[in-house]
Amino acid sequence: MSRLRLKNRLAKDKLMLWGVCLLATLTAVPLLAILGEVLLRGYDQFSWSFFTEPTPTAYKAMKAIEAGEPIPGGIANGIIGTIIMLGMAVFVAVPVGILCGAFLAENTKSRFAQFVSYLTDLLQGTPSVIIGIITYIWVVVPMKGYSAIAGSIALCIMMLPLIIRSTEETLKILPTSLKEAGLALGGNKARVMIKVQLPAAFGGIFTGILLAISRVIGETAPLMFTALGCSFIRFAINRPISAVPLLIWEFFNDPNLQDLIWGASLFLLLFVLTLNLLSKYLAKKWNQ
């Protein structure tokens, strides 16, 4: 009797182990399936002109499809738009985020800092579509038009909490002896922060910035009501502009342009996943 019970318990144990292993490995399936599909359907669209030419008009694409040729043009307008908006967003979000993160790391006990910390969580959890609405109300309505500025403000708001958190957390785990040594040498707090703490925390902050970029680069919803999109290459920041994820959305909705969808997705996916892996690798390297 007790032998049977023991067998039963051991069998249950084994079942649990195998169940866990099986179900856990199954979660890799969607990643491989998505990567595989995007790779297989997108790789043959990669060509020089795909990255240097703007998207064709629906009419041009229709003509090409009728003639049985590949659709002319590419996603250069999206790539340039993404670079411009992301560049402006990083330019503002990085310094402000680092300063704000330093504030949180320096004043752990003050009421105000706790309030700011709570708000950072709040903003981080806010759905991106709402950031889009807000930027529309704040920027697009007063400026009377969609623009690259509006898009970059939306991206900037999304990046801020991520950079603040990574800065704060990296500064907090630095040994206090580091700061104390700097202060003991006669440096004031600002000097110690600039010359000792921030350089020591550089790795963590840098990987945080990379992760923040990879998080917002694929964002579509906040750009739909701010940057709107534009079918030619444009550098003006006060006019509508395109972005790679916006182009994917456009291709998805336009039957004539559907052939371009997978190339654009592959480009975006490769970029995001490389950034992700790079930041993970750097984090590991700098932690040692």
The smaller minimum CB distance to other proteins, of residues 71 and 261, is found at 261
Which residues, 6+ apart, have CB-to-CB distance to 162 below 8 Å? 97, 124, 208, 211, 212, 215
Residue type, 249: W
The smaller minimum CB distance to other proteins, of residues 58 and 63, is found at 58
DSSP state of 43: G
Rounded to the nearest whole angstrom, what is the least distance from the CB of residue 91 to other proteins in the complex? 15
Rounded to the nearest whole angstrom, what is the least distance from the CB of residue 197 to other proteins in the complex? 12
Torsion of CA 191, 195, 196, 199, to 10 degrees: 140
Which residue from 261, 199, 237 is spatially nearest to 92, judged by alpha carbons? 237
The smaller minimum CB distance to other proteins, of residues 174 and 269, is found at 269
Q: Do 60 and 73 meet the contact criterion of CB atoms below 8 Å apart?
A: yes
Rounded to the nearest whole angstrom, what is the least distance from the CB of residue 245 to other proteins in the complex? 5
Separation of alpha carbons 254 and 174, rounded Å: 52
Rounded to the nearest whole angstrom, what is the least distance from the CB of residue 184 to other proteins in the complex? 16
Rounded to the nearest whole angstrom, what is the least distance from the CB of residue 67 to other proteins in the complex? 25
Rounded to the nearest whole angstrom, what is the least distance from the CB of residue 4 to other proteins in the complex? 15
The pair of three-digit structure tokens given for residue 255, joined into one six-digit string: 């039957």
Q: Do 162 and 120 meet the contact criterion of CB atoms below 8 Å apart?
A: no
Cβ contacts of 269-273, under 8 Å, gap ≥ 24: 269/34, 269/35, 269/38, 271/214, 271/217, 272/214, 272/217, 272/218
The smaller minimum CB distance to other proteins, of residues 129 and 282, is found at 129
Rounded to the nearest whole angstrom, what is the least distance from the CB of residue 72 to other proteins in the complex? 22
The smaller minimum CB distance to other proteins, of residues 77 and 279, is found at 279
Residue 178 backbone zone (phi > 0: left; psi -120 to 50: alpha; other: beta): alpha
Neighbours of 209 (CB within 10 A): 21
The pair of three-digit structure tokens given for residue 100, joined into one six-digit string: 């704000």
Rounded to the nearest whole angstrom, what is the least distance from the CB of residue 69 to other proteins in the complex? 23
DSSP state of 233: -
The smaller minimum CB distance to other proteins, of residues 1 and 26, is found at 26
The smaller minimum CB distance to other proteins, of residues 178 and 272, is found at 272
The smaller minimum CB distance to other proteins, of residues 13 and 180, is found at 13
